[in-house]
Amino acid sequence: MVAGAGAVGLAVARALRLGLGPVPGRGTSRRGPRDVLVLEARARPGAGVSSRSSEVVHAGLYYAPGSLKARTCVEGARRLWQFCAERGVRARKLGKLVVAPGRAAWDAPPRAPARASAPPPSAPSGRLEALAANARLCGASGLELLTAARARELEPALGRARGSAGGALLSRDSGIFDSHAFVEALAADVEGQGSSLSFSSSSSCSPASPSSSSSPAAASPPLGGGMIVSRAALVGGDLSRAGADGRLELLVRTAAGGGAGGGGPETVRVRADALVVAAGLGTARLLHGDLVEADAVVPGLRGWPSPEGLPPRAAFAYAKGNYFALPPSRGPSPFSRLLYPLPDPSGAGLGIHATLDLSGRTRFGPDVEWLGERETRELNGEGRSDGERGGGGGGGAGGGGSEIFGPEPGDVDPSRAALFDAAIRSYWPGLPGAGALRPEYAGVRPKLLPFSRRGSGGEGGAVGEAAAAALSPPSSSSDFFVAGARTHGARGVAVVAGIESPGLTASLALADEIVAALLEE
Ligand SMILES: Cc1cc2nc3c(=O)[nH]c(=O)nc-3n(C[C@H](O)[C@H](O)[C@H](O)COP(=O)(O)OP(=O)(O)OC[C@H]3O[C@@H](n4cnc5c(N)ncnc54)[C@H](O)[C@@H]3O)c2cc1C
């Protein structure tokens, strides 16, 4: 079973169903196809974090060399380009410029250096060179450091940036893709010729080893097949394999009842050989067992033989990213490539950048707006009464009461336009005057603050603003978290957390890592 039908959950479900996923050096071998059941709390697959990105295929410039982010970004991008080409998912390798600020450099007319050994007047800044060196160590290819003059030849709209240096790093292998079509293609591979049975219709669920008469329904995917069930959330379970058949016993909350009249939400039990938790913004609640109803038939996800090594609740923090755009009436895009400033030194974001979509429109963002304490506590499942637990107590898909079933915080505060205006002008002085930018949409990054993998224990409070301070140098921002039994002790259970950017790019490669974690003894 896979909990969460975002890009990551679907990529691992696809790998399991197709029997993919050997990881060189991890001692795993090629396996046969498996039956897969994917649960999605929202009304359809891919409606979570995966639906709110910049749709950029990252080349792997920013991450700590050797980290999971770096490795899966570089390998994931290679596979993603190939997947898009083979499956007809629209994608364009249009390239990207990371520009260093520098009024003097950008304003200076291009001229030849006086001596061959002298640096050119608009040489790339030290930070750009460091970024290029880091990118090469990560395994990124297609890189070139450009003088400011050369960058302006490529993108004439650049200019008059503030600061003291200048220049740009060109990444030819960065680009854009249709992330929605990608997720649909993954879902199609998971379901294949299989079924799209719905948990909300008891007649279409085939009971699989019902474990007690109190279980209203159970489901199994067709043999050798895959099934994605929407409006159904993992809300608890026993990971100790205590049952007679030694399988995991999991609790699933459906939005609508199984009766003919629809009914309210109900909880069903499902037995599974293995579990992948890839629940995006819902992961902290699952790991800390907060979705369990007081009267649950089996204990909630308290069955971790050893919780050590899992991220403590206080490590989960959330940074909203807002986007603004120019209305089409403001003319064509000023750029033909992706345009990024140097990354935010805090490591929290890549800086307010300009991306193009596949129709050629430019949008700006995302910025970094840390969610406050209340929202963080809610996402982490803290301070909820028993009545609120178990997937929303009547919230239903899109209904109130449960953020698990409900929409993500997607509104953009129009007053943030001033912040965007200033950031964009640092590389695009031609930005039209005040009021030109229109709020677009927002997404929330599930971040993990650095934590100790052993004996982390502490259940401290929410972080909010404190998170920003804790995430100081870029090198200290956490890696993607993928853990199997060697970390948490539950055999056949893989946990994925902190899948912020470049999670879409990395998803096909992350799937291999997750399969390897599932196989850990
Ligand atoms: C603003 C922003 C911009 C980004 N830009 C890029 C980019 O340009 N390129 C890039 O590569 N990456 C980008 N990312 C990162 C990327 O979008 C994510 O890393 C990736 O989509 C995460 O996928 P996921 O499957 O882990 O999460 P999700 O897509 O959120 O999937 C998790 C799913 O689990 C479901 N769920 C939650 N709880 C439960 C439960 N208990 N039971 C069942 N289901 C549950 C949720 O409804 C959700 O659909 C961006 C992220 C943000 C926020």
List pLDDT tens digits, range 375-424.
998 888 786 544 444 443 333 333 333 444 444 556 898 999 999 998 99
Number of other CB atoms surrounding residue 466 within 10 Å: 17
In this model, does residue 294 exceed pLDDT 80? no
Name which residue sits closest to atom 25 of ligand 1, judged by CA. Answer: 6
Q: Which amino acid is at 95?
A: G
| Closest C-alpha to 337, from 317, 314, 362 | 362
- Among the atoms of ligand 1, which is closest to the Cα of residue 9? 25
| Closest C-alpha to 165, from 184, 144, 151 | 151
In this model, does residue 134 exceed pLDDT 50? yes
In this model, does residue 490 exceed pLDDT 90? no
Instruction: Kindly state the average pLDDT of the residues 357-386.
Output: 85
From residue 247, give the alpha-carbon distance in Å to each of 38, 209, 376, 492: 17, 10, 33, 9
For the chain, domains (ranges, CATH) are 2-91+179-313+449-518 (3.50.50.60), 93-173+317-369+408-445 (3.30.9.10)
Q: Coil, strand or helix: which one is 342? A: coil
Mean pLDDT check: name the lowest of 35-39, 133-137, 424-428, 506-510. 424-428
Instruction: Report the pLDDT value the prediction gives residue 301, as an integer from 0 to 100.
Output: 57
In this model, does residue 351 exceed pLDDT 90? no
| Residue ranges of E strands in 374-458 | 438-448
Residue in this structure with the two tokens 């060697």, named with its chain if needed: 486
Instruction: Report the pLDDT value the prediction gives residue 474, as an integer from 0 to 100.
Output: 37
Number of other CB atoms surrounding residue 297 within 10 Å: 15
Mutate to test the pocket of ligand 1, among 53, 235, 276 (most ligand atoms within 8 A of CB): 53
Name which residue sits closest to atom 21 of ligand 1, judged by CA. Answer: 50
Ligand 1 mean position, distance from CA 47 (Å):
8
- Among the atoms of ligand 1, which is closest to the Cα of residue 444? 53
DSSP state of 474: G
Q: Is 85 exposed, middle or buried (0-12, 13-18, 19+ CB in 10 A)?
A: exposed
Name which residue sits closest to atom 15 of ligand 1, judged by CA. Answer: 501
Mean pLDDT check: name the lowest of 11-15, 52-56, 67-71, 368-372. 368-372
In this model, does residue 194 exceed pLDDT 90? no
Ligand 1 mean position, distance from CA 46 (Å):
8
Contact 337, 155 (CB under 8 A): yes
Ligand 1 mean position, distance from CA 278 (Å):
9
Contact 486, 493 (CB under 8 A): no
Q: pLDDT band for 123, please (50, 70, 90 cuts).
A: low
Instruction: Report the pLDDT value the prediction gives residue 235, as an integer from 0 to 100.
Output: 86
Q: pLDDT band for 214, please (50, 70, 90 cuts).
A: very low
In this model, does residue 237 exceed pLDDT 90? no
Q: Residue 436 and residue 424: Cα distance in Å, rounded?
A: 12
Instruction: Report the pLDDT value the prediction gives residue 499, as an integer from 0 to 100.
Output: 97
Q: pLDDT band for 100, please (50, 70, 90 cuts).
A: confident
Ligand 1 mean position, distance from CA 82 (Å):
21
Name which residue sits closest to atom 40 of ligand 1, judged by CA. Answer: 233
Transcribe 256-289 into DSSP letters.
S-SSTT--S-EEEEEEES-EEE--GGGHHHHHTT
Name which residue sits closest to atom 9 of ligand 1, judged by CA. Answer: 56
Instruction: Report the pLDDT value the prediction gives residue 435, as an integer from 0 to 100.
Output: 81
Mutate to test the pocket of ligand 1, among 2, 12, 37, 50 (most ligand atoms within 8 A of CB): 50
Contact 6, 508 (CB under 8 A): no
Q: Helices marked H in 88-230 — which ranges?
A: 103-107, 126-138, 148-154, 179-191
Chain-centroid distance of CA 413 in Å reads 22
Cis peptide before 502 (omega within 30 of 0): yes
Ligand 1 mean position, distance from CA 444 (Å):
8
Instruction: Report the pLDDT value the prediction gives residue 15, as an integer from 0 to 100.
Output: 94
Instruction: Kindly state the average pLDDT of the residues 20-45.
Output: 75
Instruction: Report the pLDDT value the prediction gives residue 378, as an integer from 0 to 100.
Output: 87
Ligand 1 mean position, distance from CA 53 (Å):
9
Ligand 1 mean position, distance from CA 110 (Å):
44
Q: Which amino acid is at 455?
A: G
Contact 471, 346 (CB under 8 A): yes
**pLDDT tens digits for range 87-99:** 999 999 999 999 9
Instruction: Report the pLDDT value the prediction gives residue 313, as an integer from 0 to 100.
Output: 85
Which range has highest mean pLDDT (218-227, 232-241, 468-477)? Answer: 232-241
DSSP state of 40: E
Ligand 1 mean position, distance from CA 50 (Å):
4
Q: pLDDT band for 31, please (50, 70, 90 cuts).
A: low
Q: What is the sign of the dihedral through the CA atoms of 393, 394, 398 and 401?
A: negative
Ligand 1 mean position, distance from CA 148 (Å):
36
Ligand 1 mean position, distance from CA 428 (Å):
30
Instruction: Report the pLDDT value the prediction gives residue 256, as an integer from 0 to 100.
Output: 64
In this model, does residue 303 exceed pLDDT 80? no
Ligand 1 mean position, distance from CA 499 (Å):
7
Q: pLDDT band for 217, please (50, 70, 90 cuts).
A: very low
User: Which pair of tokens denotes residue 201?
Assistant: 């219709």
User: Which pair of tokens denotes residue 421?
Assistant: 């205006």
Contact 451, 272 (CB under 8 A): no
Instruction: Report the pLDDT value the prediction gives residue 193, as an integer from 0 to 100.
Output: 63
Specify the pairing of strand 36-40 against strand 2-3: parallel
Q: Helices marked H in 23-176 — which ranges?
A: 68-87, 103-107, 126-138, 148-154
Mean pLDDT check: name the lowest of 101-110, 153-162, 348-357, 428-437. 101-110
Q: Residue 349 and residue 356: Cα distance in Å, rounded?
A: 18
The residue that leads in pLDDT, 126 or 214, is 126
Q: Name every protein residue with a CB atom under 6 angstroms from any ligand 1 atom.
A: 3-9, 39-42, 47-50, 52-56, 58, 233-234, 278-282, 286, 321, 366, 404, 443-445, 499-505
Beta-bridge partners for 268: 252
Instruction: Report the pLDDT value the prediction gives residue 408, as an integer from 0 to 100.
Output: 56
Q: pLDDT band for 460, please (50, 70, 90 cuts).
A: very low
Q: Mean of the per-residue pLDDT values for the chain?
A: 78
Instruction: Report the pLDDT value the prediction gives residue 272, as an integer from 0 to 100.
Output: 93
Angle, vertex CA 282, rays to CA 443 and CA 231, nearest 5: 95
- Among the atoms of ligand 1, which is closest to the Cα of residue 499? 19
Beta-bridge partners for 443: 321
Mutate to test the pocket of ligand 1, among 292, 293, 501 (most ligand atoms within 8 A of CB): 501
Instruction: Kindly state the average pLDDT of the residues 311-329.
Output: 90
